[in-house]
Structure 1
Amino acid sequence: MSSFEADPEVGLSAPAVMELLEGAPVALGGPRGFAVTRTLPHRQRRMVGAWCFLDAYGPQDLAGSDGMRVGPHPHTGLQTVTWLIAGEVLHRDSLGHVQEIRPGQLNLMTAGRGISHSEQTPRDHTPVLEGVQLWVALPHAVRDMPPEFAHHDDLPVVTRPGLAATVIMGTFAGATSPARCHTPLVGADLTLAPSAEATVPLDPAFEYAVLALDGAPVIDGATLKPGPLLYLGSGRAEVDVTTGSPSRLLLLGGEPFDERLVMWWNFVARDHDEIVQMRADWADRTPRFGEVRGYDGPPLPAPPMPISRLVPRGRVR
């Protein structure tokens, strides 16, 4: 982690907080799998609001490759949020949904007590794939709810001087996404014109982070390029963004999530023993996670459990 101030944990709620969280390369499905850059959870900051996981991928030229191909795998205690910049992804889940997602559309899967799904590039597809995969941690009161799936292809768009914002989750600048949230949060895709000088409205009760999807926008004096996640802290009513070339940002925010979590593989739980049971239920193919039908490949096996017990952790490691 690098930081724009000497001690980013001092005055955590002050507007001056800015932390640059460098991403880690990860191959989904094994060493030869689909390459992504993971910025949440980070070794120093695990969450932004209830947002607990962020993978960014592409732009990837799909010529001569199978593109994304992630076999059936389980989830618990979270919502998956799929957002594309370019290309298509075909979703199948154990509730029986088969849904192709395209740019500007939201796939929202709520795992609750347990669900499984697969993700892959469809047979007929455009040449480039780019997008983000996010998780939202479910609070204790609903973490064992029945699983759900929703697809939203008509999301609100807010225009302000210098920018247009698609509201993916929560409320931004007075516009609210139809997606179901279980904690106060926001996710928005901001498109900025060249040579823009825009003021982005924020909620001082939320903590925020931004990811550059395209261009090199300047945020409060810091130039951000695609790759790292810029954490902005809380206590801000707005943030200034300027651009030279056209730019695109993913804005994430939410009320600080104070529950301590255990995150391991595809599971979000509250203690080690819950993870052990979740892993066993997947390995034993119990009814908990159901069955994904139509994917032409095997389900992903769960990795071995670590030797030491998993410890619940807060949003800052």
Structure 2
Amino acid sequence: MSNLDRQAAVTVCGGRGFVVAEPVRELLSPRRVQLGGSTEVRRLLPNLGRRMVGAWAFVDHYGPDDIADEPGMQVPPHPHMGLQTVSWLHEGEVLHRDSVGSLQTVRPRELGLMTSGRAISHSEESPKSHARFLHGAQLWVALPDAHRQVEPHFQHHADLPTVTAPGLTATVILGTLDGTVSPGTAYSPLTGADLSLTRGTRTRLPLEPDFEYAVLSMSGEAEVDGVPVLPGSMLYLGCGRSELPLHAQSDAGLMLLGGEPFEEEIVMWWNFVGRTHEEIEEARRGWMEGSRFGEVHGYDGARLPAPALPPAPLKPRGRTR
């Protein structure tokens, strides 16, 4: 998934000094961004008030969109480095192509996990023959320094483990939840889970007190720790929780995101995660010159040019503005 902003902003984040060490209830509102074709996304991270949740550094929620007579998602080839992309669908399908030769259609409740490592490029599109509705989330996970030069690769997992309780099914997308581990490769301690709740459910989800967490509402009406969270919004929860109260007023879908606070300070610009201005500058030059990131074969269209870098040097600093 790409950040298609033509005036790409610099985001500086990371460092434990800015983590909220106690439980909080901080409701984050989205920014609307056009993502090519007929897809508009609601961007929750990075946000004016919050840049990361554990290693989760980018969250877009989109749909449900009626694309029966539309092309749907059309994201041309573009580069990534220093991160993982997570594709997660509730409705529809997305065709993934990348520069290491992957060709995979990702369907609802299947994990599409791309690890960029040192460099990769990919495209994402709705297949020509596609379902009427498109609804999902696209997320990035920042890679820690020890792993950000790994060989780029793509993983697809159609069968994911679940944690269940009366009225709740939690699908473990990435990392761990209540001792259940996703088959997707994670490079730092984290949690990504899809929560399906039936109407009237009241339950408590076990959490790790050392993790920080947030909950993204995908659909329906639910309260998270007593706070109503509407679809397309996200509630930041801080750290220090051993459980999370949930109450569904209707059938509801949520995403739980969490992890150990990301200790390193990073620079995020356009589709790159690095540590210095020079790294970002070098990556942009490599993409524009057609080197380093490889080639995506089979996409019918031109690749995405990089926007201009801001005039001031990019500097890493803390997690909140």
TM-score normalised by the chain length of structure 2 = 0.93
Q: 1:45 aligns with which of 42, 45, 50?
A: 50
Q: Which residue of 2 aligns with 1:307?
A: 311
Opposite residue 13 of structure 1, the aligned amino acid is A
Q: Cα RMSD over matched residues? A: 1.4
Residue 13, structure 1, aligned to residue 21, structure 2:
yes
2:5 aligned residue: none
CA contact (8 A) 1:259 1:314 kept: no
What are the Cα deviations for residues 12-68 of structure 1, in whole angstroms up to 9, with x where unaligned? 2222x1111111001124xx7631010001122110000000001000000221100
In the alignment, is residue 158 of structure 1 matched against residue 163 of structure 2?
yes
In the alignment, residue 218 of structure 1 is paired with which amino acid? E
Counterparts in 2 of 1:152 and 1:11: CA distance versus 1, 3 Å: closer
Runs of 5+ in structure 1 lacking a partner? Answer: 1-8
Which of 180, 202, 225 aligns to 2:207? It is 202
Q: Which residue of 1 aligns with 2:6?
A: none
Shift of the 11–300 alpha-carbon distance from structure 1 to 2, 3 Å rule, reads: closer
Give the 4+ runs in structure 1 shifted more than 6 A. Answer: none
Which of 99, 105, 109 is the matching residue for 1:94?
99
The correspondence for 2:32, drawn from 19, 25, 48, is 25
1:236 aligns with 2:244: no
Counterpart of 1:72, as a letter, is P
Deviation at 1:315, TM superposition (A): 2.1
For 2:289, which of 284, 289, 295 is the aligned residue? 284
Higher RCO (CA 8 Å, separation ≥ 6 residues)? 2
Question: C-alpha distance in 2, partners of 1:43/1:308?
Answer: 20
1:233 shift after superposition: 0.4
Q: Distance in 2 between matches of 1:263 and 1:108?
A: 19
Mapped to 2, the partners of 1:14 and 1:162 lie a distance apart of 28
Distance 1:33 1:301, change over 3 A: farther
State yes or no: 1:297 paired with 2:301: yes
Give the 5 Å matches for 1:39-118: 39-118=44-123
* CA drift at 1:308: 1.3
1:10 shift after superposition: 10
Contact 2:74 2:125 in 1 (8 A): yes
Q: SS state of the match for residue 285, structure 2?
A: helix
- Deviation, 1:149, is 0.8
What does the per-residue CA deviation read over 1:199-235, in whole Å, with 9 as the maximum and x for residues that have no partner? Answer: 1110001000001111111111111111221000000
Q: 1:254 aligns with which of 259, 262, 268?
A: 259
Whole-angstrom distance in 1 between the partners of 2:184 and 2:133: 27
**Could you tell me how far apart the structure 2 residues matched to 1:133 and 1:245 are?**
24
Q: Which amino acid aligns with 2:316?
A: P
Supply the distance in 1 between the matched residues of 2:113 and 2:254 (Cα, whole angstroms). Answer: 20
SS in 1 for 2:265: coil
Contact 1:258 1:314 in 2 (8 A): no
Q: For structure 2, list consecutive stretches of 5 or more residues without a partner in the other structure.
A: 1-16
Deviates more, 1:213-222 or 1:275-284: 213-222
CA–CA distance in structure 2, aligned partners of residues 33 and 62 of structure 1:
8
* Cα separation, 2, equivalents of 1:28 and 1:224: 24
Q: What's the secondary structure of 1:273's corresponding residue?
A: helix
Deviation at 1:144, TM superposition (A): 1.3
Once the two structures are superposed, residues 125-171 of structure 1 have per-residue CA deviations (whole angstroms, 9 ceiling, x without a partner) of 11000000000000011111110111001100111122111000011
TM-score (norm 1): 0.94
The aligned amino acid for 2:180 is A
Alignment partner of 1:204: what SS?
coil
**Using the alignment, how far apart are the partners of 1:54 and 1:249 within structure 2?**
13
